[in-house]
Amino acid sequence: MEQSSEHPIAVGIIKKVKETKISIPKLENFNAITGKGVEAKVEGKQIKVVSPGYLRDKKITIPEDAYSDAAETVVFVLIDGKLAGYIALADEIRPESAEAIKVFKKNNIKVLMATGDNEKTAKAVSDKLGLDGYYAEVLPHQKVKIVKELQEKGEFVAMTGDGVNDAPALAQANVGIAVGSGTDVAAETADIILVNSNPQDIANLILFGKATYNKMIQNLIWATGYNVVAIPLAAGVLYSSGFVLGPALGAVFMSLSTIIVAINAQLLKRKLGKK
Ligand code: AMP
């Protein structure tokens, strides 16, 4: 069933299946249960692979030994509505994520995680990365709600996601950032696509944006500063003291201001090169 799904859980399961060379039976009527799992008919039986949330909804008791490690994601296999077993997957935190989060914190940017995963996994990942908070067992439509709520609190929200389910939240966010390796729908909705799927690029683009903005302000001050001083002088405000800025000198100042602004803009490259 997981062969028909794009979910990272499905990708992980299929990777393992390929390693173990299990033969895969045919399936019929595949259906993705949004935010909860997948289902299909296999060899005449109704099979579901679902989240712990789905079991709770159906009042099926979650086996106590299912969670041996808080950082694991566990999905449950139901055969004809009965719990048949579970599959535990460990989430590998990419080292680039930790680096990116360090940069966000240094720049006073709050980092929150919204995940369909269970509370335990979400907390373990959040603690490990030192996040400012997390939302666990989030259903797709709730992601948009989370973004909206943060915006109502006056926050400027940049949202990163890769799934079909993330698209509405990416559209709602002030800046939507899609992971390049994710689904086309996410990429089409987002404002920015991370072509290398590297979370560190989010940090880089924020720093780049800030540095560009600062240069813009600096250059505005340089360009305006010249005019504020030189125009009154050219107009003769100091005529009574015997000084008038002549047109020739005025032209030199005019060119100088352009040169300084251009050189200052060039320095941006050097600044970013150091990062
Ligand atoms: P999502 O919001 O898409 O991450 O899905 C939320 C939860 O639903 C996951 O954490 C899983 O427990 C379950 N789920 C979603 N898709 C699948 C799948 N293809 N196979 C197994 N479980 C899934």
Q: How far is the CA of 34 from the centre of ligand 1 (A)?
A: 8
Q: How far is the CA of 7 from the centre of ligand 1 (A)?
A: 7
Question: Are residues 182 and 126 part of one domain?
Answer: no
Whole-number Å distance between alpha carbons of 102 and 131:
10
Q: Does the pLDDT of residue 71 top 70, yes or no?
A: no
Number of structural domains found in the chain: 4
Q: Is residue 118 part of a domain?
A: yes
Q: How far is the CA of 51 from the centre of ligand 1 (A)?
A: 6
Q: Is residue 95 part of a domain?
A: no
Question: Are residues 58 and 35 part of one domain?
Answer: yes
Q: Which domain holds residue 112?
A: 100-138
Q: Is residue 177 part of a domain?
A: yes
* Ligand 1 binding pocket mutation candidate from 51, 72, 141, 143 (most atoms within 8 A of CB): 51
Question: Are residues 181 and 118 part of one domain?
Answer: no
Question: Are residues 209 and 190 part of one domain?
Answer: no
Which tokens is 271 given?
Answer: 């600044």
Which tokens is 221 given?
Answer: 């001050």
Residue nearest to atom 16 of ligand 1 (CA): 37
Question: Are residues 127 and 116 part of one domain?
Answer: yes
* Ligand 1 binding pocket mutation candidate from 30, 39, 75 (most atoms within 8 A of CB): 75
- Work out the average pLDDT over 252-274: 85
Does the beta carbon of 38 lie inside 6 Å of ligand 1? yes
Question: Are residues 208 and 256 part of one domain?
Answer: yes
Does the beta carbon of 116 lie inside 6 Å of ligand 1? yes
What is the percentage of the chain residues whose pLDDT exceeds 70? 96
Whole-number Å distance between alpha carbons of 23 and 17:
9
Q: What is the CATH number of the domain that holds 52?
A: 3.40.1110.10
Question: Are residues 35 and 24 part of one domain?
Answer: yes
Whole-number Å distance between alpha carbons of 72 and 92:
9
Does the beta carbon of 75 lie inside 6 Å of ligand 1? yes
Does the beta carbon of 146 lie inside 6 Å of ligand 1? no
Residues 227-250: tens digit of each pLDDT: 899 999 999 999 999 999 999 999
Give the pLDDT of residue 228: 92
Question: Are residues 59 and 13 part of one domain?
Answer: yes
Q: Is residue 122 part of a domain?
A: yes
Q: Is residue 106 part of a domain?
A: yes
Q: Does the pLDDT of residue 4 top 60, yes or no?
A: yes
pTM score, two decimals? 0.64
Question: Are residues 52 and 9 part of one domain?
Answer: yes
Question: Are residues 173 and 108 part of one domain?
Answer: no
Residue nearest to atom 5 of ligand 1 (CA): 35
Q: What is the CATH number of the domain that holds 179?
A: 3.40.50.1000
Q: Does the pLDDT of residue 207 top 60, yes or no?
A: yes
Q: Does the pLDDT of residue 272 top 70, yes or no?
A: no
Whole-number Å distance between alpha carbons of 125 and 122:
5
Q: How far is the CA of 153 from the centre of ligand 1 (A)?
A: 29
Q: Is residue 17 part of a domain?
A: yes
Does the beta carbon of 74 lie inside 6 Å of ligand 1? no
Question: Are residues 175 and 248 part of one domain?
Answer: no
Question: Are residues 119 and 55 part of one domain?
Answer: no
